[in-house]
Structure 1
Amino acid sequence: MTGGITPAESDRPIRIGNCSGFYGDRLRAAREMVEGGPIDVLCGDYLAELTMLILAKAQAKDPAAGYARTFLTQMEDVLGTCLEKGIKVVSNAGGLNPAGLAAAIEALGTDAKVAYVEGDDLRGSLGAIDPPVDGKPVSANAYLGGWGIAEALAAGADVVVTGRVTDASLVVGPAAWWHGWDREDFDALAGAVVAGHVIECGPQATGGNYAFLDEITDRRYPGFPIAEVAVDGSSVITKHPGTGGLVSVGTVTAQLLYEIAAPAYLGPDCTTHFDTIRLEADGEHRVAISGVRGSAPPPTLKVALNDAGGYRNTMTLVLTGLDIEAKAAFAEELLFDVLGGRGRFAEVDVRLLRFDTPDAPANERATAHLRITVKDPDPRTVGRAFSNATMELALGGYAGFHTTTPPSAESAYGVYRPAAVPREAVTHTVVLPGGKRRVVADPPVATAGTGPAAGSSTPAESEHSRPGGPTRPAPLGTVCGARSGDKGGDANIGVWTRSDEAYAWLRAFLTPDKARELLGPEAAELPIDVHPLPNLRALNVVVHGILGEGVASSTRPDPQAKGLGEYLRSRVVEIPEALLG
């Protein structure tokens, strides 16, 4: 390995356990992971795109803030035990202030050797970002890779905290250090990226948010996942014995499909080719991942920008019984007449959400919601002046008027923008225990294309013919699972089947046009890509622009598209009877 890094042990797989999938996840997970069985590294992911905006707001109020304080709470609880057991700790909880978090950990008084990784924060050097940045974003972070983590561990660090590295880097860095990989070991690095992608969201890999609920026979809170990463980059995903949930080919497939785009998954350390992944059951609660191919990474790094978007407010009016659409139209017209017109606001979003059924057997089943959101740079425009105005309809509006909440104040919102930056414009730096700073070298990058490394191959489409014969209407989810999430302003829906025959049918059935039709009016005019992943019996559906300017700005009731996959599964379509059983 370059940089004088030597492996911690010979060829034994490194056991990396996750204790957090987001800022606010289960606090007890750290202790459960440390005490539940043997691990070599405890890692945790805290930095979603929205989290960077939250941390920026906290840092604006207190320059010493800007990191995930829940991680510090977890370290107060388990760091002493980690030191006793020789467990390394790696986390991106440093957010916008990794140096501050490192100092806070040192102040715990455990004598832990703490290192931190920085260089991702570009707020002071925006000039090289493409597209060019206007104004002053509240956060601007390049996605770094795992080599700074690897070098910190090689220098003897017990704890490594970072700013914005990729989620998978929390596995890539420790695996590269442990096994002595080189920066050109792209297949091994890609295998670690896949393992990291599976465990980064914690219990989503062990039965959480899983489409086939009947498969989860242990309904206790799921145990957090562990990746056993071997010297060749292959891995086994598992969990501690005696914990809840399930690790199966299905649960791992679901997480592999979460928040991805094209099969060539671009990262700072390598390009990982998701269409080469192979999964196989390896015993109870054990799934083996193999065959992953990697190639050189791109010459640019992804950048996440968050801008202050202005202020927003939402009021939800409840409509009951008859004439729902007429009541909604009347309420909207009357409200904006009271407010002085829609033009008072920079943006207005009105959605009629239908939950009502005819001749409903209960009051609540006869209701619909009229959800009205307004945005403006002036907080006074969208504050109580807006929400109080809705209450003027209470006695002068439609029959049965009431709201889901009392009048509310405005709240600030952010706008997410993806961008890129040349690698040479970013100084990936690790600050080692004792304070020595070291610039981290880049890997060799691709000069053209993103194809797999020489000698690799992409699996052929399923050789099974599509089932023919009669069909009958049934929910799409009868034959496939799904998991969905956000990628900035886009949403992805990973859809997979449990048989080759079902995949052959799904591959032909779920075209971009069919996906657009099934997802309804909000997707009618949006670009949609469908990427086949035959090795996983899966399709990845990417819906561009459905989340607008990202989760912090989106006016969808489900701003991160978490339920979009389950909505797609609920749609009734014609399915071959041979698949329905």
Structure 2
Amino acid sequence: MTSIGRTADVLRVGNCSGFYGDRFSAMREMLEGGDLDVLTGDYLAELTMLILARDRAKDPSTGYAKTYLRQVEDCLGLAMERGVTLVANAGGVNPEGLATALVETAKKLGLSPRIGYVAGDDLTSRAGELELGEPLAAHAYLGAFGIAEGLRAGADVLITGRVTDASVIIGPAIAHFDWQRTDFDALAGATAAGHIIECGTQATGGNYSFFEEVGEMIRPGFPIAEIHDDGTSVITKHEGTGGAVTTDTVLAQLLYEIGDARYPGPDVTMRLDQVKVAQVGPDRVSLSGARGEAPPADVKVSCNALGGFRNEMVFVLTGLDIEAKAALVRRQFEDALQVQPAQVTWDLARTEHPDADTEQAATALLSVVARDSDERKVGRAFSNAAVEIALGSIPGFHVTTPPTRGQAYGVFTPGYVPQSAPDHHVVLPDGTRVTIDAPTQTQHVEPLTGEDATLPEAPTGETERAPLGAVCGARSGDKGGSANIGVWARSDAAFAWMVNTLTVSRLQELLPETASLTVRRTVLPTMRSVNFVVDGILGEGVAYNARFDPQAKGLGEWLRSRYVDVPKTLLQEAK
């Protein structure tokens, strides 16, 4: 076996990208900042896959993250000099195309890296036979064993298409420690580490409830996982970089985009309710206790389709009589529309303040969104109607943008196929094609919410009205058309209060937008956390733009801002 680590017992895996568009300089910063064995990057999301699929439909040679190609052009020599292996899912919908482009780039640089790629995730041409409908793109979330095979063969650069986000971290650990398919605990531990660092600086203070405690946040450092042969790890970052690695920054990321306590992946089902997080030094947090179970028999498929066309206009309402002004604008606009789109939705954001000392602070926003399969019905005729009423409408009438054409929007639908359905394979640096067999040991993954566990008794005593965020942190994100809200307490007493107070019905009271939706709660005592999944709040996915916050990034912070009766002892403790 080819080892990719400097030492046998620890593998240092860094990350330099959490999405397509992340900090360009991060690859160089990570390579120059200190020792690494592997540098990974996550460039894919559901919306990104749709964008890349549309790119490739226009030009078959594209469909990958071009940013990564430029980053490697800048840093390949440095990576090879330092002996750092590069692994990224930047291949998007065309990993072979990116691998080919990297080979050409290396030749121009006078370098000869060994480059391989993982493919087989693309099920688009087989979508019908696999009962996935007729999407523009259908890509299975592959696991990490193809990555491991490429690294065992000595790849200096290993490119993938759609794999699970954590797979780019798990794969190097499989190769280095020679883990097998049934090493479930070790695989689960690496999954936890991968889940934390794959979103980049979200693990080092970014998107973090208590950001004012972090310190220097101009350029947070990107995270590193020091993975051990039993799957335990330490999350850290390069010395001297911004941000921080604390139990809370790590907990926040563990709660990001999860469901219940069983976190299924193509290689292992991780038990989140077993994970323990501990501060073991400055900017060093250990992950232990992860337990793994067999993976599900099916693998998830990202199905993206064009849902139709969309247009939006936003009216600015200033000063007094906001609701009356909104009602008049709506009546006038609907009268001016010559063609009726299939769907028209209105939203009034009451952002104005009484007796405001700036015009902007005295302003509310009224938006109207149209959707239709016929581009003409949401085109210039729609947005022109918003302008045509201008001189005969409310006082102070104006809009935020000029009339525009409609834009295509996407719809995400998760699909599931047997683990054996994708043609999972890796093309090694010498051109050899190696098929990656599906796991033979699988299970039906039953939901695990922890609601039947014995919960701690809530503290009693005098209470005070205060924001939930005075004693709890939160992290939220999108899960297809649903969203998750992970909430964690900062002490045992605060958890005992939170877990008894923040029930599903209480959440729906605090967040009225969720009241008509199905909400599921999971209790995670080892992390002093609860997680909520709100089904359908994002409509048909991120690209659908169903609400003001289409990726549910701020949903957790909205929850933290709501006032509840908090025991005074907890408020004193939090100061």
Report the TM-score when normalising by structure 2.
0.96
Structure 2 residue corresponding to 1:481, chosen from 473, 478, 489: 473
* Alpha-carbon distance in 2 for matches of 1:475, 1:186: 41
| Paired letter, 1:351 | D
Q: Residues 301-450 of structure 1 correspond to what in structure 2 (within 5 A)? A: 301-340=299-338, 344-450=340-446
* Alpha-carbon distance in 1 for matches of 2:502, 2:70: 46
- 3-state DSSP class of the match of 2:174? helix
* Alpha-carbon distance in 1 for matches of 2:104, 2:78: 17
- 3-state DSSP class of the match of 2:434? strand
Query: Using a 3 Å threshold, how does the CA distance of structure 1 residues 579 and 99 change in structure 2: closer, same or farther?
Result: same
Task: Tell me what 2:524 maps to.
Answer: 533
| Paired letter, 1:355 | T
How many residues were matched structurally? Answer: 567
Task: Tell me what 1:178 maps to.
Answer: 176
**Could you tell which deviates more after superposition, 212-221 or 570-579?**
212-221
The question of 1:34 aligning with 2:35 is answered no
| Paired letter, 1:112 | P
The question of 1:11 aligning with 2:2 is answered no
Task: Tell me what 2:510 maps to.
Answer: 518
- Aligned-residue identity in percent: 54
The question of 1:23 aligning with 2:15 is answered no
* Alpha-carbon distance in 2 for matches of 1:7, 1:519: 48
Task: Tell me what 2:119 maps to.
Answer: 118
Structure 1 residue corresponding to 2:498, chosen from 488, 500, 506: 506
How far residue 443 of structure 1 moved from its aligned partner, in angstroms, is 2.3
* Alpha-carbon distance in 2 for matches of 1:265, 1:447: 13
Query: Using a 3 Å threshold, how does the CA distance of structure 1 residues 493 and 437 change in structure 2: closer, same or farther?
Result: same
Query: Using a 3 Å threshold, how does the CA distance of structure 1 residues 161 and 359 change in structure 2: closer, same or farther?
Result: same
Q: Is the 8 A contact 2:419 2:439 kept in 1?
A: no
Q: Residues 92-241 of structure 1 correspond to what in structure 2 (within 5 A)? A: 92-108=89-105, 109=107, 110-127=111-128, 129=130, 132-134=131-133, 136-241=134-239
Q: Is the 8 A contact 2:119 2:425 kept in 1?
A: yes
How far residue 5 of structure 1 moved from its aligned partner, in angstroms, is 7.0
- 1:268-322 deviation digits (Å, cap 9, x = unpaired): 0000011100011110000000010001000100011001111111100011112
Q: Is the 8 A contact 2:44 2:162 kept in 1?
A: yes
Task: Tell me what 2:489 maps to.
Answer: 497
Structure 2 residue corresponding to 1:50, chosen from 44, 47, 52: 47
Gaps of 5+ in 2: none
Task: Tell me what 2:70 maps to.
Answer: 73
* Alpha-carbon distance in 1 for matches of 2:242, 2:453: 35
- 1:509-556 deviation digits (Å, cap 9, x = unpaired): 111111111112x21200001111111111111111000000101231
- 1:464-523 deviation digits (Å, cap 9, x = unpaired): 532101111001100101111100000111111100000011101111111111112x21
- 1:403-439 deviation digits (Å, cap 9, x = unpaired): 1112122111000001100112111110111211110
Q: Is the 8 A contact 1:299 1:422 kept in 2?
A: yes
* Alpha-carbon distance in 2 for matches of 1:228, 1:508: 36
* Alpha-carbon distance in 1 for matches of 2:129, 2:500: 43
Task: Tell me what 1:455 maps to.
Answer: none
Gaps of 5+ in 1: 453-457
- 3-state DSSP class of the match of 1:229? strand
How far residue 194 of structure 1 moved from its aligned partner, in angstroms, is 0.4
* Alpha-carbon distance in 2 for matches of 1:460, 1:309: 41
Runs of at least 4 residues of structure 1 off by over 3 A?
Answer: 4-11, 447-452, 458-465
Task: Tell me what 1:90 maps to.
Answer: 87
Query: Using a 3 Å threshold, how does the CA distance of structure 1 residues 428 and 356 change in structure 2: closer, same or farther?
Result: same
* Alpha-carbon distance in 2 for matches of 1:527, 1:436: 49
The question of 1:242 aligning with 2:240 is answered yes
- 1:151-189 deviation digits (Å, cap 9, x = unpaired): 000011111100100000011100010011111000000
Q: Is the 8 A contact 1:9 1:179 kept in 2?
A: no
* Alpha-carbon distance in 2 for matches of 1:430, 1:217: 43
* Alpha-carbon distance in 2 for matches of 1:99, 1:147: 18
Query: Using a 3 Å threshold, how does the CA distance of structure 1 residues 460 and 285 change in structure 2: closer, same or farther?
Result: farther
Structure 2 residue corresponding to 1:576, chosen from 548, 567, 570: 567
Query: Using a 3 Å threshold, how does the CA distance of structure 1 residues 373 and 463 change in structure 2: closer, same or farther?
Result: closer
- 3-state DSSP class of the match of 2:125? coil
Q: Is the 8 A contact 2:451 2:522 kept in 1?
A: no
Q: Is the 8 A contact 1:94 1:101 kept in 2?
A: yes
Q: Is the 8 A contact 1:128 1:422 kept in 2?
A: no
* Alpha-carbon distance in 2 for matches of 1:474, 1:444: 52
How far residue 7 of structure 1 moved from its aligned partner, in angstroms, is 7.4
